[in-house]
Amino acid sequence: MESLYLLIPISVILIFLVGWIFIWAVKSGQFDDMEGPAHRILMDDDKPPSDAAKKNHSNEE
């Protein structure tokens, strides 16, 4: 029972920690776009552009 002397204050501190993490997350814009990231994770970024693209690019400029 006496352990509660320690556990209850710890739970309060933990909650404040969670609150602080959340405020940081809101501040850094993690909740600004609620849909995009869910889709973005499905797409691979590991194919490099082909040579043709680079050529086209230099033509444009």
CA–CA dist 21, 34 (Å, integer) = 18
Please, what is the minimum distance in Å from the beta carbon of residue 49 to another protein?
A: 4
Task: Note whether 39 binds another protein by CB under 8 A.
Answer: yes
Please, what is the minimum distance in Å from the beta carbon of residue 57 to another protein?
A: 8
CA–CA dist 34, 39 (Å, integer) = 10
Can you say how many angstroms the Cα of residue 40 is from the centroid of all Cα atoms in its chain?
12
Task: Note whether 44 binds another protein by CB under 8 A.
Answer: yes
Q: Max Cα separation, the chain?
A: 77
Residue with tokens 């552009």: 49
Task: Note whether 59 binds another protein by CB under 8 A.
Answer: no
Which positions lie near another protein, rule CB under 8 A? 1, 4-5, 8-9, 11-12, 15, 18-19, 22-23, 26-27, 31-36, 39-40, 42-45, 47-50, 52-53, 56-57, 60-61
